[in-house]
Amino acid sequence: RYPTDGRINIMQGVFLGHRISVRSISPCNRLRFSSPLISRARGARVTMSQAGHLALVTGGTGFVAGELVKQLLEKGYQVRTTVRPGTDASRLQPLKLLAQALPGSLEIVEADLLAEQAFHQAVAGAEVVFHVASPFFIEADDPQAALVEPALRGTASLFAAVAAQGKGAVRRVVLTSSCAAVKGMHPAPPKDGRRYTEADWNTTSTVEGGQAYWVGKTKAEELAWEQAKQHGIDLVTILPEFILGPVLSPHARGTSVGALQGWLHGASAPGTFTFADVRAVARAHVRAAEVPRAGGRRFIVAARQATTGRQISAILREHFPHLPIKDGEDGEPPEFGVDASAAAELLSVHSVPVEETLVDMARTLLAFGL
């Protein structure tokens, strides 16, 4: 049903089992990968605005960061990405394969999100920095220590590294925030009384109320704007709703992956959900770095409307009738929706149909045996 010889169809391209050429390994744990033959063959896709420009992506093995690395490589960027110290080599393999198949080049650097001066070496020489790395789970024994503090420390460390390069050395920072920084689980009404926009901020979530993730995202973005103002850094923040979409690795894990895995394996979650497709989220990051007028702004990325549990079940059952898909239960629809028109108008990032998001993610999870 799915190829077993190392070739996995990933919707937007095919991974082939190329041999990996390690171009240099230095004491600072940097690995560089590129595919000069493929780069020359596809040279028409590499424009002067991207070729030779270094982009740093933090947290390269993550769901969003992996897709972002892929899209940057497709455009011919030199990409440097950070991974946790001691990351298993098998988790790096999908990134290396992308570098072999796409026009850009890839450098992998170890960095501890919580260490002092964690990103100083990684930021050096980067023209644009994408800060994606941040914990994403909902429950923890000590939510303040597990969710809020790492988000704040990672953001502070990243901006300290950018500031240390000197004003203007890094042209722009793009931060992965969240709609959690716009509204909480029990939010106040939107400012315009109709839909939540980039003008709204989450003022209701508390750690004590079980919303540490929401608190961490809100405080981290607030800190980012404070640091940007203090150091004269050009900042853009991306605010996705709950992210789903195709995975790029058999080692994909986390809240987003677990959510759809549950549906595919016979569990279901009651509720009504607003999603964002990981491909649109990554594209929003790329466009936020490239569009001059995006500087200093926030951008929501979200599907046009919420999706009920019953609709999710119906979509999955139609495309995967052999799987034990249970009937989902509808939850209370959100009183107010979100407005993603700014991303569409200024960044040319449009929402992906929810059916496409769900089906493409399910196919890749099944292809990878997840």
**Could you tell me which residues are beta bridge partners of residue 273?**
307
> CA-CA distances (angstroms) from residue 237 to 99, 172, 245, 296, 297?
26, 11, 20, 8, 7
- Give yes or no: 219 in active site: no
How many CA atoms lie less than 13 Å away from 32 in the CB half-sphere? Answer: 10
3-class secondary structure, 213:
helix
Looking up tokens 């793009």 gives: 174
Task: Read off the tokens for 84.
Answer: 């946790």
Q: What is d(CA 92, CA 143) in angstroms, rounded to the nearest whole number?
A: 29
Residues 6+ apart with CB under 8 A from 41: none
Longest dimension (CA), the chain: 57
Residue 291 corresponds to which amino acid?
V
Asked if 334 contacts 275 with a C-beta cutoff of 8 angstroms, the reply is no
Q: What is d(CA 194, CA 186) in angstroms, rounded to the nearest whole number?
A: 16
Closest residue by Cα to residue 59 from 51, 67, 50, 71: 67
Catalytic pick from 217, 219, 229, 326? 217
3-class secondary structure, 327:
coil
Asked if 11 contacts 246 with a C-beta cutoff of 8 angstroms, the reply is yes
Q: What is d(CA 318, CA 301) in angstroms, rounded to the nearest whole number?
A: 27
- Give catalytic residues, as residue numbers: 217
